Structures are given as structure tokens and as C-alpha cells.
């Protein structure tokens, strides 16, 4: 860890994760600090080195030596972009937090537009790479499919969840616990908490230095995390409603089959020993009871979690007392 000045009140914090982006650091900070110089705000930059194996950290230290507004965090190993953003949020002090990628594809000149939209009453402003400069088959097409799925599942409709440049009010960015690949779902999670979310077209530039760290394999992790977000959003405080419903349906179908089979055996004299449907009926009943039990256990865990941590089950937007 490098020596970092004690936190002081600032208006705007810019969080930038880096992972082996040594060639991008100097040109990025030349642009970014130039944009911040023109803003009528007190600003800071939180640069997070996500366990890079090249000279990324050394170059960030050199940038900080030239401009004390830059804070530098270095991880012991590569923890991923979500962890980098979480660390940046935790060590920021601005009332507004802007995130952007460290690979020069996001344009720092878009930051004033994001801030202007926040001033219009929004809580989250997400960038939309409407003219994306990436490979169509490996990056753009999978991204569009993922964005459509996320928008449909979360009901927060954005064209580009994966865009790195976003602006948040502090209470939104710091009010969500991040893990996995959850950083891309922040607008959806914020929307679920009642935040006002919008997006604006931003400039997207082709990668000219370094190499992309993401591929098609990331899509699987995104889909799994989307399932987690959807479940936590809809059923975190009432798991019995999803597990219990499945259990009741399975148990009901199983009991109905048992009744039909019993009628056939008793009144029609039909044999049951060689009919696989008997085993299916028993399996449905047992599985149904297990799902109901899972739901009850989930209710107990949810209650313990909220009561032990004082976790609120609601979010107040305004209070007039």
C-alpha cells in the first residue's frame, strides 16, 4: 500500500479499476485530470490496482506523486472488477461517485454529461455505448443478448449494463454489498431499492493498448449472478413463496396421482406393481415436502439475518417529521 492522504470532504470521486493496463495509465490520467480541472467541484480519483503483474502499480504511484488528488489501492492478488469497485467505493469520500474502465475505451469527457443528468433528479446514470468499438461476434452480440435478458428479468431497462462509465449518488453506490460479478447489476439493484435510473449515450473508443481481459466465458458467470440478483430482489425476505409454491405444486400433483392410482386399484382392479407412475407420484410427494421444508428454513435464515444485523426491509426516500 502506498501512503494516502487522510480522507477529506470532496464533491466527486472517480473510481477506476486497473488490471495490467500499464500502457493506458499516463494517457488516461492526462485526459481524466484535465476534465476534472474544468469542473467546479472538489474531486478525487481512486485508482485500484487489481493485483497486476506488470508495472501498473508503479505508474499509478508516479501519477499520485504528481497529483495528490489521486489515491492508489493495490490488491494482493487479482480479485476482479466487482471487488475493485467495492474497494473504491469504500475508500471514496465524494457525494457523487463516477466509475470508469482503465483501458482508454471510456471517454472522461463524458463525465460532465453524467453529472448533468444527476442534477436533473436521477440517482444513477449509466453510459450507453451506442456505437461500440468492439468485435461483433465475441463482444457486442453476447452483450446485447445479456442486456436484453437482464432488462427483462430486472425490469430496469438499459441498453448497456456492461458499460463501465456510470455515475451514482453516494448513498446508492455504498448502500449495496457487492460480490461475484454484481457490479454490472448495480443499476438494477438500485432500481429495486427505488432509485431513479437513466442512461445516456457515451463515446466508446477502440482499444489501442493492452488486451481485453474478458471473453465469452464471462457470460456464464453473468447469467448465474443474474439468477442470484433476481432471487434476492423478489424473494430475499420471503423465500417460502418460491420454494413453498414449488413444493405445493409437486405435492398436489403427487397426491392427485396417488388418488387416481388408488381408485384404479380398488375399484377397477388394475395392478400397480409394474407401473413407473407409482414411483413418480411418490417422488413428487417427497420432493414437494422437501421444497416446503427448504422454504421454511429459508424463512428462518432470512429472519435471523435481518434481525441479527438490524437489516432494514425497506428504504426511505424522504422523511418529513
CB 60 within 8 A of CB 29: no
Indicate which CATH number applies to the domain containing 15.
3.90.550.10
What is the number of domains present in the chain? Answer: 2
Q: What is the DSSP string of 236-261?
A: TT-THHHHHHHHHHHHHHHHHHHHHH
Q: What is the pLDDT of residues 50-103, one digit of tens each?
A: 999 899 999 999 999 999 999 999 998 888 888 899 999 999 999 999 999 999
- pLDDT > 90: what percent of the chain? 49
The domain boundary residue, chosen from 219, 234, 249: 234
- Which helix or strand (DSSP H or E) is residue 45 part of? strand 43-49
Contact at 8 Å (CB) between 316 and 247? no
Out of 113-122, 144-153, 205-214, give the one with best mean pLDDT: 113-122
Q: Note the pLDDT of residue 22.
A: 92
Residue 169 shares a structural domain with residue 263: no
Domain termination site, one of 184, 212, 234:
234
Number of other residues whose CB lies within 10 A of the CB of residue 259: 11
Question: Taking the CA atoms of the chain, what radius of gyration do you get in angstroms?
Answer: 25
Domain span including residue 297: 240-309
Quick check: helix, strand or coil at residue 95?
A: strand
Domain endpoint, select from 234, 252, 284:
234
Note whether 203 and 271 are same-domain residues. Answer: no
Residue 118 sits in the same domain as residue 188: yes
**pLDDT tens, 169-225?**
999 998 887 877 778 888 988 888 889 999 999 999 888 776 765 555 566 666 777
Amino acid at each position: 500500500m502506498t501512503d494516502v492522504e487522510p480522507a477529506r470532504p470532496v464533491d466527486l470521486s472517480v473510481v477506476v479499476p486497473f488490471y495490467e493496463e500499464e500502457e493506458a495509465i499516463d494517457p488516461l490520467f492526462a485526459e481524466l485530470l484535465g476534465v476534472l480541472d474544468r469542473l467546479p467541484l472538489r474531486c478525487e480519483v481512486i485508482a485500484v490496482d487489481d493485483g497486476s503483474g506488470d508495472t501498473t502499480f508503479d505508474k499509478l504511484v508516479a501519477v499520485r506523486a504528481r497529483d495528490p488528488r489521486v489515491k492508489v489501492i493495490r490488491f494482493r492478488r487479482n480479485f476482479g472488477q466487482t471487488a475493485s469497485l467495492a474497494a473504491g467505493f469504500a475508500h471514496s469520500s465524494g457525494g457523487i461517485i463516477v466509475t470508469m474502465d482503465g483501458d482508454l475505451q471510456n471517454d472522461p469527457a463524458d463525465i460532465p454529461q453524467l453529472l448533468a443528468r444527476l442534477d436533473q433528479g436521477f440517482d444513477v446514470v449509466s453510459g450507453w455505448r451506442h456505437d461500440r468499438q468492439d468485435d461483433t461476434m465475441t463482444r457486442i452480440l453476447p452483450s446485447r443478448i445479456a442486456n436484453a435478458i437482464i432488462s427483462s428479468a430486472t425490469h430496469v431497462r438499459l441498453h448497456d449494463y456492461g458499460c463501465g462509465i456510470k455515475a451514482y449518488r453516494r448513498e446508492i453506490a455504498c448502500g449495496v454489498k457487492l460480490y461475484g460479478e454484481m457490479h454490472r447489476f448495480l443499476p438494477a439493484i438500485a432500481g429495486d431499492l427505488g432509485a431513479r435510473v437513466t442512461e445516456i449515450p457515451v463515446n466508446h473508443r477502440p482499444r489501442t493498448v493492452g488486451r481485453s481481459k474478458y471473453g465469452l466465458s464471462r457470460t456464464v458467470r453473468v447469467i448465474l449472478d443474474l439468477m442470484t440478483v433476481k432471487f434476492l430482489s423478489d424473494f430475499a425476505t420471503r423465500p417460502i413463496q418460491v420454494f413453498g409454491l414449488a413444493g405445493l405444486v409437486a405435492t398436489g400433483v403427487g397426491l392427485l396421482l396417488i388418488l387416481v392410482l388408488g381408485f384404479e386399484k380398488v375399484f377397477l382392479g388394475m395392478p400397480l406393481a409394474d407401473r413407473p407412475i407409482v414411483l413418480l407420484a411418490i417422488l413428487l410427494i417427497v420432493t414437494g415436502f422437501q421444497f416446503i421444508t427448504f422454504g421454511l428454513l429459508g424463512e428462518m435464515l432470512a429472519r435471523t439475518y435481518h434481525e441479527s444485523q438490524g437489516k432494514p426491509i425497506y428504504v426511505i426516500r424522504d422523511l418529513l417529521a
